[in-house]
Amino acid sequence: MPPESPAGTPPPKSRRSDALRNRQAVLAAAAEVFLTSGVDAPIRQISARAGVGLATMYRHFPTRADLIAAVYNHQIEELAEAGPALLAGAETPFAALSQWIDLFVDFLVTKHGLADALQSDSDRFAALHAHFLDRLSPVATRLIDAAVDAGDIRPGTHPYELMRGIGNLCIGRDSDPRYDPRRLIALLLRGLRRAG
């Protein structure tokens, strides 16, 4: 029989699950706040949205850079996991690729301001960018290859170039309300289609 916890404290397993829940709540709240208010949004706003106190915030993420990096990594993992799930559930491989690109664009929008926020820690930013490519390039490759094999798109599309091109199309979105990168990305995707 396991030893009892001291009076008034939850057992260790419960504390771990509470800590994990709090961490996930903070990451979700921070992603939402960063999307609407940018990465310089007040930490109090994020903690309020997550339903946790400031002490909990700082226990999980001692600095703003730690929080931003964690949100970025969390979103990379979600995007990486979405690719195979979309491929398994979409009507066609091209539909899966299109849906994944839509998620990729959402990701790029929430990433806005990351480079500036981590500028003082360029090694951390370089590591995040390498992780981004390591995790997402194989997913893009798998989706593109499936679309080529199904005859949905022409062969010859390089995943890095496609991701880079989409990233470049997203630049300028914040400074010009008349600019909608999704319209140009839709044109880009139409250009990948095999004629017929």
Residue 5 backbone class (left: φ over 0; alpha: ψ -120 to 50; beta: rest): beta
Q: Per the structure block, which two tokens stand in for 181?
A: 């990168």
Mean local confidence (pLDDT), 144-168: 94
For residue 190, pLDDT beyond 50: yes
SS3 content of the chain, % helix, strand, coil (to 5): 75, 0, 25
Q: Which residue has the higher pLDDT, 46 or 121?
A: 46
Q: What whole-number distance in Å separates Cα of residue 46 and Cα of residue 30? A: 5
Question: All domains of the chain, ordered by start, with CATH?
Answer: 9-62 (1.10.10), 64-192 (1.10.357.10)
pLDDT digits (tens, 9 = 90+) for 54-104: 999 999 999 988 998 899 889 899 999 999 999 999 999 999 999 999 999
For residue 174, pLDDT beyond 90: no
Least confident of 9-18, 27-36, 38-47: 9-18
Of 153, 181, 135, the residue nearest 96 (C-alpha): 153
Mean local confidence (pLDDT), 21-38: 90
How many angstroms from the chain centroid is the CA of residue 50?
18
For residue 134, pLDDT beyond 80: yes
For residue 12, pLDDT beyond 80: no
Q: What is the pLDDT of residue 150?
A: 96
For residue 7, pLDDT beyond 80: no
Tell me 9's DSSP state. S
User: Phi and psi dihedrals of 153, rounded to 5?
Assistant: -130, 160
**DSSP result, 76-132:** HHHHHHHHHHHHHHSSSHHHHHHHHHHHHHHHHHHTTTHHHHTGGGHHHHHHHHHHH
Q: What is the pLDDT of residue 144?
A: 97
